[in-house]
Amino acid sequence: MRTPQHSPATAVVPSTSLGSSGPAVSALGLGCMGMSALYGAADRTESIATIHAALDAGVTLLDTGDFYGMGHNETLIGEALRTAPPAARERAMTSVKFGALRTVEGAFSGYDGRPAAVKNFVAYSLQRLGLDHIDVYRIARLDPAVPIEETVGAIAELVEAGHVRHIGLSEVGARTIRRAAATAPIADLQIEYSLISRGIEAEILPTLRELGIGVTAYGVLSRGLISGHWTNDRVLGADDFRSVSPRFAGENLQHNLRLVDALRTVADAKGATVAQTAIAWVLAQGKDIVPLIGARTRERLAESLGALDVTLDADDLAAIEHAVPVGSAAGERYPARQMAHLDSEI
Ligand SMILES: NC(=O)c1ccc[n+]([C@@H]2O[C@H](COP(=O)([O-])OP(=O)(O)OC[C@H]3O[C@@H](n4cnc5c(N)ncnc54)[C@H](OP(=O)(O)O)[C@@H]3O)[C@@H](O)[C@H]2O)c1
């Protein structure tokens, strides 16, 4: 039996294809957001060591957004890439989100998907990353004032110019996906997907599969809630997303942690950790789905990569879904004012 808790992957992370038009990427990506924003303080040295360890293990896909720490996350990734061994740097691919508008105080004030803005955003991102191209570029949320054809068309021009390699989407619904795909080849949709966020299964995932578009799944651990490490006495800073997330609030949290207890029983029987089981469940939903792991320490990274060693058969999947039935989570995945920006929820 495998040792639960921190078993690292025994092999190099396998590769998969990001949709029929996208690049070959590692079967797990590293989401770097928490190294700069939204989850409380992070340690810069450990963050860079985590990126290096991920690249060393064979993770090739690094996900970020230009608004994560208002540029901080891109400069961090830039430094990690500059200081990585040349072969690892060569393998690394960046997936960058743009378009979120911020105030001096850090508040989010809307989205800008106008073509001129797209070309402005990418220029700053390339500078901060220290790269001459971005591998997958996407607007973080649909700008309701700009047709998706114009935003995607602007990225297609960046592809033509060599500044971007592939076009992605984020948190949009089936109609927008079809319009985008009719404009230019789309590599992937980035969207929340986990045992407790299964909304994409009804319409979005079938649409993506019909069109040959991959998925980069975030929130696979529901921002730590279903990681097995969350406790109900955790104190959150005001700038921590989870302090406003309905799923982490009051009775909802108690309910959701009972789901995690049930999941732990299944994980224990498999000799895996809760986090590994939750990640392995997403991996088991299809090779076209690449979980983005939000690890920001080498310890969490090693645990996450251990998910690649967890094989779930039909009985295991049934036991997991019995422990955490579809739709069983209490609370929406975002506060109401942020839900309003999700084209994927319309
Ligand atoms: N397109 C979008 O709208 C969107 C939205 C959100 C995120 N994303 C992307 O997706 C990435 C991952 O998303 P997420 O933050 O929601 O990820 P997540 O993996 O669901 O949650 C990450 C949190 O889980 C905790 N955790 C506990 N055990 C862990 C383990 N073994 N491995 C990793 N984390 C563990 C970490 O806390 P500690 O560090 O405290 O241990 C971290 O705060 C982000 O970095 C970002 O690149 C995209």
What is the chain's pLDDT, residue by residue, as a tens digit (346 residues)?
333 443 444 447 999 999 999 999 999 999 999 999 999 899 999 999 999 999 999 999 999 999 999 999 999 999 999 999 999 999 999 999 999 999 999 899 999 999 999 999 999 999 999 999 999 999 999 999 999 999 999 999 999 999 999 999 999 999 999 999 999 999 999 999 999 999 999 999 999 999 999 999 999 999 999 999 999 899 999 889 999 999 999 999 999 999 999 999 999 999 999 999 999 999 999 999 999 999 999 999 999 999 999 999 999 999 999 999 999 999 999 999 999 999 999 8
How many angstroms separate the alpha carbon of residue 32 from the centre of ligand 1? 8
Give the pLDDT score at 12: 79
C-alpha–C-alpha distance, residues 311 and 281, integer Å: 9
Strand partners, 24: 17
User: Hey, which of 221, 239, 273, 298 would you mutate to test ligand 1's pocket, going by the most ligand atoms within 8 Å of its Cβ?
Assistant: 221
Q: Where are the domains of the chain?
A: 24-345
For 342, the token pair is 């999700």
Q: Domain 24-345 adopts which CATH fold?
A: TIM Barrel (3.20.20)
As annotated, the active-site residues are 68
Residues in contact with ligand 1 (CB, 6 Å cut-off): 31-34, 39, 63, 97, 140, 170-171, 190, 218-224, 227, 229, 275, 292-296, 300, 303-304
User: Hey, which of 292, 299, 304, 338 would you mutate to test ligand 1's pocket, going by the most ligand atoms within 8 Å of its Cβ?
Assistant: 292
Atom 21 of ligand 1, residue of closest alpha carbon: 223
Sign of CA dihedral 303, 285, 327, 320: negative
Give the pLDDT score at 3: 37
C-alpha distances (whole Å) from 114 to each of 119, 220, 262 are: 9, 31, 46
164 in helix, strand or coil? strand
Atom 36 of ligand 1, residue of closest alpha carbon: 224
Query: Among 239, 238, 242, which residue's Cα sits nearest to residue 229?
Result: 242
Report residue 340: phi and psi, to 5°: -65, -20
Contacts of 66 (CB under 8 A, 6+ apart): 74, 96, 97, 98, 100, 121, 124, 125, 128
How many angstroms separate the alpha carbon of residue 39 from the centre of ligand 1? 9
> Residue 193 in contact with residue 221, Cβ under 8 Å?
no
H/E element, 163: none
Contacts of 133 (CB under 8 A, 6+ apart): 126, 162, 163, 164, 165
